[in-house]
Structure formats: C-alpha cells, structure tokens
Amino acid sequence: MGRTGPDFETFAGDLFGEMVLADNAAATAARAEKKPLSRFVPGFAICAIAGAAAAWLSQNYGVPVILGGLLVGLAMGFAAGDPRTHEGLDAVSRHGLRAGIVLLGFQVTAMQVMAMGIVPFAGLALVMLAALLAALAAARATGQSPAIGLLGGGATAICGASAALALYGVIGRERVDQAQFTLTLVILAAASAIALVTYPPLARMLAFSDAQAGFLTGAAIHDVAQSIGAGFAVSDAAGAQATVVKLTRVALLAPLVTLAALWIARIQPLAEGVGKARVPMLPGFILAFLAMVAVNSLIALPADIAGWALAASKTLLLLAVTATAMRTRTDLLLGLGWRAVMPVLAATIASLAAAMAFARWAI
C-alpha cells in the first residue's frame, strides 16, 4: 500500500517546494547568463572616441593613423581601469581585427598575384624569409622567446599591424603578453612612417628604375597605405608596381598564419592546463579572407564596393589597435627594455637589404 497521511503530505509538499525553488534558481541563473548587449556600450564608446581622435590627427597632421590609434589608446589607458569598459574593449580588439582582416580580401585578386611574374615573386619570397629569419635570430640573441621573433618577423614580412593582429590570434597571450604585443605595433608603425619618408629618396639616390623602385617600396615597407604611397612618391609607374607587390604580400597572410600556427605549437607548446588549447589549423577569419579573395577574383565587383570594404577594414583595424592599446598597462610596456624592440628592428633592416639587393641585381 502507498504511504498516506499528514507525514506523507508534508513530505510531498516539501519536495514540491524544493523542486519549485530549484526551477526558480535555474531560471534565474539562465537569465543571469543572458547578459544585455548594453554591457558592450561603454567600451565601444570610449574606443570610438579614441579612434576618431587618431583619425583627426592623421588627417590634419599627417600622423600615420595606426600609430595615432596606438598613442591615443595608450594615453587613454586610464579609461580601461573601469571594469564597465572591459567587455566592449575586448570585443573590439578581438572581433574588430578579424572582420578588418577579412575585408582586406576585397583588395586582392589571384590575377594580381600571377601578373607579378615568377622573378619578382621569388624575390618577394626571399625578402619575407630574410625578415622572418632576422627577427627569430634577434629574439634568440637577446634571450627572448621564438614567439616574439615570429610575431615581429611575420608582421614585418606581410603587412605590419594587420599581420601582427592575425599572428597574435594564433600565437596567443600565453606566449606573448599584451605589453610586448603593443610595443611591437608601436615599432611597426614607427618603422613604416620612417620608411615612407626615406625609401623614395633612397630609390632615387640609387638610380632605380620605376620597376625597381616599385619593388623596393612594395616589398620592404610594412603598412599597406604607406608602402603604396611611397611607390607613388617616386612615380605613377612605380606606384602601380608597388601596389601589385604589396597586395601579393597581403595575399600571403593566410599561408603565413597557418605555418606560424603549426610551427609555434611545435617549437613552443603551451604547458598543460595553461590557457586555452589552440589547434594548429587555419583560423576561421583567414578562411573568410581567402573566400573574399576568391570572390574578388571570380566576380568583377563594382569599384565602390572595394572602396567601402577598404574604408571599413581600415576603420575596424584602427579600432582594434586602439582598444588593444587601451587595455595595455603602460608600466609593463616601459619595463620591457631595448631587447623587445630588436626583432622588428632586425626584420626591417633585413627586408630593406634583401629588397635593395634583389631590385638592383634581378629586376
């Protein structure tokens, strides 16, 4: 016979109450997990203000926009001390950079890469290899990790800040801390600004032809805009050559990131239980970048779309760099010392020397 009476009714009532309380607690927890989108607003807003200030400096005083974003972001680092800005800044630095890199795919076609020819392409590969090896050697000579050399060399070899952001996504904060990453971006921006001013006069001094000058500026300057701008500072023909060479470097971003992920996972594996496990495979945003290149190669897109995509890419990358700088502790940045600069410096000098030599003797 089943149990009846006051004792059973009391037990059943208590059990029902506990079940209701448990259900209510689960519902409350579920609602708590669904955080409102408004939590991103403070970080987005402060990052947008800082990015607008950097763009204004670039437009009115000629400051490279990425360098401006870094400096303004570092100066406004106090804002990141408020926890309310953290989620917005982290979202911009992570997702903004990936979207910006994907949109770069609209600037490259397979035909542009093939039109460059075998000889310039081989020279470009040599310049990139020289940059990577020099950065890795400098990191080792100064007692730094291979990951730091890979970050500086890979960013120098491809397209500066954009490549650094992409590489940092597969290298990870466990191998390269945020202060080192920010300093790498600062040095990359400064090196590109110096190259923009000095490489065109250097090409003229060496009596380079338009093809030689275009190869030099396209292969040896990190930033896309400054690389192409330096080519056009020599001549229109040199600018056209620099554009093809530089966009070919951008197209090589995907294979470089893939090889970097495989190599760093083998040479500098993460300790067990440290950080999030990273599978050495092609990241999703790089696959999307390749998809955009394929679309741009197969379909004749209107010029307006390419222009809008470039503007959106620049804006997203500026915001990502600014947010990263704002989340960086300047006390750690100042404590890095001269050794932290050496990989990018060595890679810059090596890429310039290799590009000059190849332009002189092979083009």
Judge whether residue 72 has pLDDT over 90: no
Task: Find all residues with CB under 8 Å of 136, minimum gap 6, and list them.
Answer: 146, 149, 150, 153, 343
Q: How far apart are the C-alpha atoms of 306 and 205, rounded to whole Å? A: 35
Is the pLDDT at 280 greater than 60? The verdict is no
How buried is 104 (Cβ within 10 angstroms: 0-12 exposed, 13-18 middle, 19+ buried)? buried
Let me know the angle formed at the C-alpha of 171 by 170 and 173, rounded to the nearest 5 degrees.
Answer: 110
Instruction: Tell me the pLDDT band of 33, cut-offs 50, 70 and 90.
Output: low
C-alpha distances (whole Å) from 359 to each of 17, 190, 208, 266 are: 82, 24, 8, 35
Scored b (16 or more CB within 10 A) or e, 279-310 reads: eeebbebbebbbebbeebbeeeeeeeeeeebb
pLDDT tens column, 75-133: 888 887 788 888 888 888 778 867 877 887 787 777 766 766 788 888 888 999 999 99
17 confidence band (pLDDT: 50, 70, 90): very low
Answer yes or no: is pLDDT of 3 > 70. Answer: no
Distance CA 255, CA 273 (A): 28
Residue 163's nearest CA partner among 345, 320, 50, 291 is 320
* Beta-carbon contacts of residue 217 (< 8 Å; ≥ 6 apart): 195, 199, 200, 203, 227, 228, 230, 231, 234, 238, 242
Quickly state the pLDDT bin for 138 (edges 50, 70, 90). Answer: very high
What is the structure's pLDDT at 335? 62
In angstroms, the CA 130 to CA 138 distance is 12
Tell me what percent of the residues of the chain surpass a pLDDT of 90: 18
With a CB cutoff of 8 Å and minimum separation 6, the contacts of 227 are: 192, 217, 218, 221, 242, 246
- pLDDT grade, residue 273 (50/70/90)? low
Q: Whole-model pTM?
A: 0.63
pLDDT at 10: 44
* Collapsed DSSP state (helix, strand, coil) of residue 144: coil
Given this model, what pLDDT does residue 2 score?
A: 46
3-class secondary-structure state, position 134: helix
Is the model more confident about 228 or about 261?
261
The residue ranges of every structural domain in the chain are 40-362
Mean pLDDT in residue range 197-210: 89
pLDDT of residue 14: 45
Short-list 82, 38, 72, 81, CA closest to 52: 72
* pLDDT value of residue 176: 86
Residue 349: predicted pLDDT: 94
